[in-house]
Copies of this chain bind each other. A is one copy, B any other.
């Protein structure tokens, strides 16, 4: 799989070059696999549960409960300071983000999280009352923000702040919005505009960036206080209008390629969903708004497809809960790993890029 680097920045608070002893011999840093190659090894070597409710590699996992069509929905995602927490982010916001990352995956499947488990890895210098209170308050606030409770967890010592969150919820299997299911002709849609997180990170790391105080506040919010589109995901699931869905945490382009791969379709993107603040920021700083929009990542919008006959119902359902559903293109029969943009009258290929651990 072709993977070029995303814009997400490895916010190295410190760089730790280690050699880990394995069975007595030292392994040097070499032949580094990417995150997706590692996941491929997992997929190939694991004995998979027979007739899984959700395909391995979708945003969540699910296990049947009884015979009534209900499934227990499960998800784990780990926040690590080195790659997921910008320098200027408070511990409270980092902890909140660890929950949001996971809730976003539940949102993309249309599942209400019920219970949260937290594996908290602290470096010794954060094992202070002040730091722990900030982290716990951020975790608790985020769980309650999305209607869930933290029911348990584990605390251990790590070199870098590590917050491993697991979610549990229950759903009807038939109501889960999977990555597969998009049909040619379906409308491609997103729940919000993109590029603010990438622009915000750029702004935080490059103090020479030109930005108005109003735009600064918007971009900072996108980085420090991202939101999962849970209410949107829940009403979309209830509407039954969505044919395929995932979140956009690894970047819009990456999500589009994943939906294409899982559904066996292509996409034509006709309107790039770029935020107004990002257009201005890009112009003022000589950056490419399209790049910030497509490859930024760290954004938690839903990317989904809807049958054209159901579009009005789906859009109304999302708007009724205060959200947006923005059509940006359509699914095509050509099973290509390229996207086409017609905004400037020409058709251009968009590379299948996104942030990938170990390659970033």
Give A residues with C-beta under 8 Å from B: 10, 13-14, 16, 18-24, 27-35, 38-39, 41-42, 45-49, 52, 56, 60-63, 65-66, 72, 74-78, 80-84, 87-88, 90-91, 114-115, 117-134, 136-137, 139-140, 143-144, 149-162, 164, 166, 168, 170, 357-358, 360
A149 in contact with B49 given A117-B74, A127-B32 (CB within 8 Å): yes
B122–A38 CB distance below 8 A: yes
A56 near B151 with CB under 8 A, answer yes
Enumerate chain B residues within 8 angstroms of A139, measured Cβ to Cβ.
46
Partner pick for A121 among B19, B49, B78, CB 8 A cutoff:
B78
Q: How far is the CB of A131 from chain B (nearest CB, A)?
A: 7
CA distance A358 to B155 in the complex (A): 10
Complex CA–CA separation, A118 to B114 (angstroms) = 20
Bound complex: CA A171 to CA B228 (Å): 31
Query: Complex: how many Å from CA A41 to CA B143?
Result: 17
Q: Is B164 in contact with A76, judged by CB distance below 8 angstroms?
A: yes
A-B pairs, top 8 by smallest CB distance, nearest first, are A61-B152, A164-B164, A49-B149, A61-B151, A166-B166, A78-B119, A159-B159, A76-B117
Q: Taking the nearest CB of chain B, how far is it from the CB of A156, in angstroms?
A: 5
Alpha-carbon distance between A265 and B294 when the two chains are bound, in angstroms: 61
Neighbour of A41 across the interface among B91, B114, B136, CB < 8 A? B136
Interface SS, A side: mixed
Docked-complex contact A132 and B38, CB < 8 angstroms: yes
- Chain B residues whose CB sits within 8 angstroms of the CB of A81 once the complex forms: 20
Q: Once the chains bind, are A132 and B33 in contact (CB under 8 Å)? A: yes
24 contacts between A and B (CB under 8 A): A18-B159, A21-B88, A22-B91, A22-B126, A27-B128, A33-B132, A35-B155, A39-B155, A41-B133, A56-B152, A61-B151, A61-B152, A63-B114, A74-B152, A74-B166, A76-B118, A80-B156, A80-B158, A119-B119, A124-B358, A156-B357, A157-B358, A158-B158, A160-B160
Bound: A63/B168 CA distance, A: 9
- Smallest beta-carbon distance A92→chain B, Å: 9
Q: How far is the CB of A359 from chain B (nearest CB, A)?
A: 9
| Nearest-CB residue, chain B, relative to A90 | B23
In contact, B33 and A129 (Cβ under 8 angstroms): yes
- Alpha-carbon distance A348/B117, docked complex (angstroms): 39
Q: Pick from B14, B42, B63, B149: contact of A47, CB below 8 A.
A: B149
The reply to whether A83 and B46 form a contact with Cβ atoms under 8 Å apart is no
Pick from B16, B42, B153: contact of A136, CB below 8 A.
B42
Contact in complex: A155, B18 (CB < 8 Å): no
A14 touches B22 (CB 8 A): no
The answer to whether B121 touches A80, judged by C-beta atoms less than 8 angstroms apart, is: yes
